[in-house]
Chains A and B, each alone.
Chain A
Amino acid sequence: MAGSGKAHMRPEGDRVLVVEDLTVEFKIAKDKVVKAVSGVSFDLIRGETLAVVGESGCGKSTLGKAILQLPKPTSGSVNFLSEELTTMSKHDLRERRPSMQMIFQDPVSSLDPRLPVSEVLAEPLKVWNKGNQVEIDAKIDELLNAVNLDPKVVRDRRSYEFSGGQCQRISIARSLALDPTMIICDEPVSALDVSVQAQILNLLQDMKDRYGLTLIFISHDLAVVKAVSTRVMVMYLGKVCEVAPPDELYLNTKHHYTKALVGSVPIPDPDRAVTKGLIMGEPPSPMNPPSGCRFRTRCPAATELCANEEPQLREVSLGHFVACHHPID
């Protein structure tokens, strides 16, 4: 029962990012609007890792890009380090860009195939005039060492000479170049082998501790999310379903959609019966979302109330919020 609401906001904390009622709509034809993100609110406390999970097309990547104003959201507010980004002038927004960075899903596509690694990493430094060539070179070596790549070996190579995991390390190094406050990781390990995933996740954790970062971690992989996050936000069709710390979310699932998601994580045990029939079918079209709770069309517990009234996020236990009229006991 995906809904809105702000019960999960924490105004007393040291908040890096406050997103309120964020809506992103894409006009695809005359009077045809895709509602990718509808009224999402959340906040991010310094040093925390917020995981955003949901199936493909639920608007999690769009949410990440909208926070960076690429493109600007249709409505709502994005408050970063106590400054409103949505109404900011182009020039001012550009000045804020170094403190918020993004890492993308496709590691190969994230790097310009024509530029050697040294140029890729020098780009942010040159754009912001961070020192002369000697200082930039020193910084590049420091960044490469930080992500466990040997500067002497990799400096002059181009992206197509690396594996996916290595490309992702370079992307991470690039996002660290400007000493950001917050990094939005958009499915950073989805395209990688499982063994490499662990390396990259460990690396992100190390970097977070070392540089004092605040992370938004967008993913569809619940196992990955459990390993990295301090708070998980489950999204369905552009709305927030449930917000909770990861252990609480897995042990004490309240939302029917989250339950389906958790249940669909494959368990490597051949004797175990395959869990079937958790939720059926495809998500409804974001062009014409269901009334009330957006999950009601696939929800086993849906009643008439769900069709008429949109559920609001409410606290069910300490730090655990759910937007559902009929939460799981």
Chain B
Amino acid sequence: MSDTQVQPVIEVVASKKKKKPVGFYIASTWIGFVVLLGLFGWLIPVRSWDSSDYDALGVGPFSPHHFLGTTQDGYDMLSGLINGARISVFVSLIAVLIGGSIGTFIGVTSAYYRGMYDRVVTTIFNVMLSIPNLVLSLALLSVLAYSDENHPTTTGRRVMVLILSLIIVIIPILGRIGRGSALQWSGREFVLASKSMGTKNFTIIKKHILPNVAPAILAIGFLAIGSVMIVEGSLALLGIGIPGGASWGSMLAAGRGNIAYSPHEVYMPALCIAFTVISCNWFGDYVRNSLDKREAKI
């Protein structure tokens, strides 16, 4: 044969990387900021978030001792938001991380093995998806963390139950994405080639299916962080989330009666939630675009 030196047709494209969009920088800065607040916010020397300052009830932002003002009951907004970041970030990250891993695992294995297992999984996913997120977690919370005067529930227990119910909400969402994507990849011939050389099923899933499914999962995972945050806020607003203004959602819930006197009580946590959700969506889109290398460029 004459063609002893075959050169790849497409030169490496890494040299002319596209410029990242401005939205990406804003989104990642905000996410980084919120995560840092959540992790190290308690180190910031601000007032205690759950003690009242009776000399400044409901003062507006930029007042001398309270940079972002206080609530009508005299709780400092800045300390509240910093503390709220911890719960909001902790709850949504843990829920999406655990729920996403379980969902992806179930979805990918069911797409790979097919058969009865796949049919059962799909049916369960469909049933779970047909119940609105909020209603599902509402039901779980009110059953698992029921509390009244006679049966008080600790905040810790409520947080755990909240995370659990959010995990259950996340599993079918990411599970379906994982299943759909894995279905497409397991039909590829490189999977068959891998089988024909004697690679074990689990190794094929780990080495060939999961890395190819990852972009879809990551993109939807970031979106899910956003929606989980909204669900958490909505639950708090309905009064069954984490009580006592401990998260952004529950600050919103606690302050909504005072919107006429001190609107910053409502719009500040609301803005925090909105910014974080939008940033997560943006970031997710960017991650998907950058990971989604099309192989058929020939």
Contacts and interface: CB of A to CB of B under 8 A. Distances in A.
A94 B9 contact: no
A224 interface: no
A112 B212 contact: yes
A70 B192 contact: yes
Interface in A79-111: 94-95, 97-98, 100-102, 104-106, 108-111
Interface string B198-241: 11100100011001100000000000000000000000000000
B10 interface: yes
A164 B196 contact: no
A101 B199 CA distance: 12
Interface in A252-282: none
Nearest to A180: B197
A26 interface: no
Interface residues of A, number: 48
B296 interface: yes
A97 B196 contact: yes
B203 A108 contact: no
B254 to A, nearest CB: 48
B194 A101 contact: no
A128 to B, nearest CB: 7
B44 interface: no
B1 A98 contact: no
A127 interface: yes
Contact of B4 (A65, A113, A148, A175): A148
Contacts of B298: 108, 160, 162-164
B151 interface: no
Most buried by B among A68, A109, A110, A203: A109
A178 B10 CA distance: 30
A123 B207 contact: yes
Interface stretch (A12-20, A34-42, A151-159): A151-159
A171 B193 contact: yes
B190 A112 contact: yes
Nearest to B209: A112
B12 A161 contact: yes
B1 A114 contact: no
Contact of A109 (B188, B195, B196, B207): B188
Most buried by B among A162, A174, A202: A162
B198 A128 contact: yes
A203 B9 contact: no
A149 interface: yes
A127 B193 contact: no
A276 to B, nearest CB: 36
Interface string B40-78: 000000000000000000000000000000000000000
B210 to A, nearest CB: 10
B1 A199 contact: yes
Most buried by A among B7, B190, B194: B190
Contacts, number: 109
Interface string B180-193: 00000000111011
A150 interface: yes
Contacts of A214: none
A109 B9 contact: no
A109 B196 CA distance: 15
A97 B194 CA distance: 10
B180 to A, nearest CB: 18
A192 to B, nearest CB: 11
Given A123-B207, A148-B6, A97 B198 contact: yes
A101 B192 CA distance: 11
Contacts of B1: 148, 199, 202-203, 206
A108 B296 contact: yes
A104 B211 contact: no
Contacts of A202: 1
Contacts of A68: 196
Interface in A214-253: none
Contact of A148 (B3, B12, B196, B197): B3
B181 to A, nearest CB: 13
Interface in B105-127: none
Contacts of B190: 109-112
B196 A102 contact: yes
Nearest to A104: B189
A110 B10 contact: no
A102 to B, nearest CB: 5
Contacts of A128: 198
A49 interface: no
B189 A123 contact: no
8 contacts: A94-B200, A106-B189, A127-B200, A158-B293, A161-B10, A162-B298, A166-B8, A171-B193
Given A112-B208, A159-B295, A169-B6, 15 more contacts: A70-B196, A95-B198, A98-B197, A102-B193, A105-B189, A106-B189, A109-B189, A112-B190, A113-B212, A114-B211, A123-B197, A123-B199, A127-B203, A149-B6, A160-B294
> Which 9 pairs from chain A and chain B are nearest by CB?
A113-B295, A97-B198, A160-B295, A104-B189, A124-B197, A110-B189, A109-B189, A94-B198, A112-B190
